[in-house]
């Protein structure tokens, strides 16, 4: 009789979870994907307004991607230390403050402080809890698939909408308002996130593996930097000299520097893997379980 009642009560509970928890998670994913593409249509306007160059603004966009990618694994670990909901909300607040700093910036350093680092760090903190909370709240395969489908769809829509909405805002007013809109969305998502029912960290909090965080961040940094070199130097053969300072490291026609950066990143990630294995053998808490 009790099991029948539990089964009968399951759909409303699932419906409440969808209404209370899924919407802020979906909107957060949309917002982060939106931030990754919205600046691309306003590069010239931003460069002119801030008195910098197009390549300077492109560097800010690249650093945003690098910051987000490099800190994603440490950000995931912090959900175990701070709690999923707390980490999600802290990430949103860091993201929102970064958006406001970027909107008020008067030069490239301010733009990078707000957009590249502020929003990049905020994204790395709030994205891991999005998927962890979705996994926890939706336990059966069907509802979990729908939840992940909604979150993935939000990521795609955000990436596609970024240039469209960003271009419209820039044409109608100023590129600064694109960041103000993001800050306002953060406030709304924070309001919605009150419905997320997460008990927080239960029991002893795990320690933070600083060495593992540095190795994972450095490894992912070099891998992403390497992939970004493809636009400039090509995928296989270098289309121009790769120069560090005044020294030609790889001449035109040689192997693309993409593979040099990727190799360094792979070696650092291998070192990271060896490190977390040694931490596990010592009976301590690694940054990431080696079985993953």
The distance from CA 256 to its chain's CA centroid, rounded to whole angstroms, is 27
| pLDDT for position 203 | 66
Q: Which CATH architecture has domain 8-195?
A: Up-down Bundle (1.20)
Domain limits, the chain: 8-195, 210-281
- What phi and psi, each to the nearest 5 degrees, are found at residue 254? -80, -175
**Among residues of the chain, what percentage have pLDDT more than 90?**
34
CA gap 271, 254 in Å, rounded: 28
Task: pLDDT band for 202, please (50, 70, 90 cuts).
Answer: low
Mean pLDDT, residues 67-84: 88
Cβ-in-10-Å burial (0-12, 13-18, 19+) of 49 comes to: middle
Q: What is the mean pLDDT of the chain?
A: 85
Please state which of the ranges 8-22, 65-79, 87-101 shows the lowest mean pLDDT. 8-22
Task: pLDDT band for 6, please (50, 70, 90 cuts).
Answer: very low
| pLDDT for position 101 | 96
Q: What is the pTM of this model?
A: 0.81
| pLDDT for position 73 | 87
> 44 and 55 in contact (C-beta within 8 Å)?
no
| pLDDT for position 130 | 92
pLDDT tens, residue by residue, 176-193: 999 999 999 999 999 998
pLDDT tens, residue by residue, 40-70: 888 888 999 999 988 888 889 888 988 988 8
pLDDT tens, residue by residue, 217-274: 899 889 988 888 887 888 888 888 888 877 888 888 888 888 988 999 999 999 999 9
Whether 121 shows a pLDDT value over 90: the answer reads: yes
Mean pLDDT, residues 132-139: 85
| pLDDT for position 184 | 95
Backbone conformation region of residue 243, classed left if phi is above 0, alpha if psi is from -120 to 50, else beta: beta
Residue 198 or residue 281, greater confidence: 281
Mean pLDDT, residues 265-286: 89
CA gap 31, 203 in Å, rounded: 33
| pLDDT for position 106 | 92
pLDDT tens, residue by residue, 10-47: 344 445 545 567 889 999 999 989 888 888 888 888 99
Please state which of the ranges 74-78, 117-121, 153-157 shows the lowest mean pLDDT. 74-78
CA gap 231, 100 in Å, rounded: 31
């Amino acid at each position: 009789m009790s099991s029948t009642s539990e089964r009968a009560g399951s759909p409303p509970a699932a419906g409440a979870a969808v209404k209370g928890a899924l919407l802020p998670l979906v909107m957060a994913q949309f917002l982060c994907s939106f931030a990754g593409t919205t600046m691309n249509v306003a590069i010239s306007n931003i460069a002119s307004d801030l008195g910098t160059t197009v390549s300077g603004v492109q560097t800010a966009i690249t650093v945003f991607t690098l910051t987000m990618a490099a800190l994603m694994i440490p950000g995931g670990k912090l959900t175990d230390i701070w709690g999923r909901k707390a980490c999600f909300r802290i990430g949103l607040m860091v993201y929102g403050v970064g958006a406001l700093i970027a909107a008020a910036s008067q030069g490239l350093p301010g733009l990078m402080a707000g957009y590249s680092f502020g929003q990049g760090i905020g994204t790395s903190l709030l994205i891991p809890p999005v998927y962890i909370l979705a996994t926890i709240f939706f336990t059966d395969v069907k509802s979990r698939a729908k939840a992940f489908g909604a979150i993935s769809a939000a990521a795609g829509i955000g990436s596609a909408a970024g240039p469209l909405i960003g271009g419209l805002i820039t044409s109608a007013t100023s590129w600064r308002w694109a960041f103000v809109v993001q800050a306002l969305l953060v406030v709304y998502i924070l309001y919605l996130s009150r419905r997320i029912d997460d008990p927080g960290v239960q029991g002893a909090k795990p320690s933070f593996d600083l060495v593992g965080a540095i190795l994972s961040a450095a490894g992912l940094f070099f891998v992403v930097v390497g992939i970004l070199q493809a636009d400039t130097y090509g995928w296989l053969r270098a289309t121009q000299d790769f120069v560090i300072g005044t020294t030609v490291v790889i001449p035109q026609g040689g192997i693309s520097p993409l593979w040099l950066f990727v190799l360094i990143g792979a070696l650092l990630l291998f070192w990271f893997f060896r490190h977390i294995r040694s931490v596990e053998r010592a009976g301590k808490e690694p940054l990431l379980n080696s079985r993953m």
